[in-house]
Amino acid sequence: MQPKPHGRLSPHFSSIIAWVFEEPRDIDIVLGGGCALSEFFFGHRLVTDIDFFVNAKAQIQEFGKLLSTAFLIKQCFEEKSASFKYMVQVENQIVPVHCVFFRQWKDPLVRDRFTTHWGLVRLHTLDFIGAWKLSYYVDRQTELLKNLVDLYFISAAGITADQLISAVCKLGIRPCPWPYELPKRLNGLTLARITPHISIEELEDFACRFVREIRKAGKGRVI
C-alpha cells in the first residue's frame, strides 16, 4: 500500500538547507581533459538530474522511451554517442543490462540539455521510487574547482516518471552537461534522505527554495 503524501513541506527539509550552509567544505576534483571541459562548466552553477528506480526489468525500455522523448534525444541515438545507463538489481547485485553513450553537446538538437546516468534498480521492496538530485557547481577564475552538494529525495508516494520530469522542467534551470570523461578523483558531499511520504508538490517546493538559497550565496560561495 502506497503511503499518502503530506499536505505540507516536511519539517526536516528546512533543516537540510541550514545544514548545508552551516557546514562549509572545500571539495575539489581532478578532471580529465580540463581545457575541453571548461566550456561546459564555466558559467553553469546548478545542475539537476532525476534517477528512477524500478524493480521490474521490463520497465527499462518503457522508461527509456519516456526519457528519450522528454529530452529530445530520440533521434540522436548512435552507438558510442549516447550516455544512458540502465541497471537492474539481481539478488542484491547491481548489474548493467543496457548501456549506450551520448555526448549530447555535439548535437544541436539537444544542445543545452543535460546528460546523466539513469539508474534503474530495485531499491528495498518498493515498486517505484523517484530520486531527485540537485547539485551545485562553482568555478573559480581559471580553475575548475567543483563544489558539489548532492541532495537525493526519494519518494514512494505514487509519483510517476512524467510528473518528475515535468516538475524539473518547470524550474527553468539551465543544467550543466556531465562530461563523459568522468573525474579521476571526486570528494563530495552526498545527502540522502529516504522520505516515503513526500509528494511531488513538496519536491518541487523544496527544489525552488534550494535554488533560491544557492543563488543568494552567489558565485564563489563554498559549500
Rounded distance, CA 203 to CA 208, Å? 9
The full DSSP string for 126-187 is -SEEEEEEEEE---BTTB-----EEEEEEE-SS--HHHHHHHHHHTT----PPPSS--SEE-
Sequence spans of domains, the chain: 17-216
pLDDT band at 65 (very low <50, low <70, confident <90, very high): low
Question: pLDDT value at position 186?
Answer: 27
Q: Give me the percent of the chain exceeding a pLDDT of 70.
A: 0
Query: Is the pLDDT assigned to residue 108 strictly greater than 50?
Result: no
What pTM does this model have?
0.26
Give per-residue pLDDT as tens, 129-183: 333 333 333 333 333 333 333 333 333 334 443 444 444 444 433 333 333 222 2
Read off the DSSP letter of residue 77. Answer: -
Give per-residue pLDDT as tens, 192-223: 333 334 454 554 555 555 445 544 544 333 22
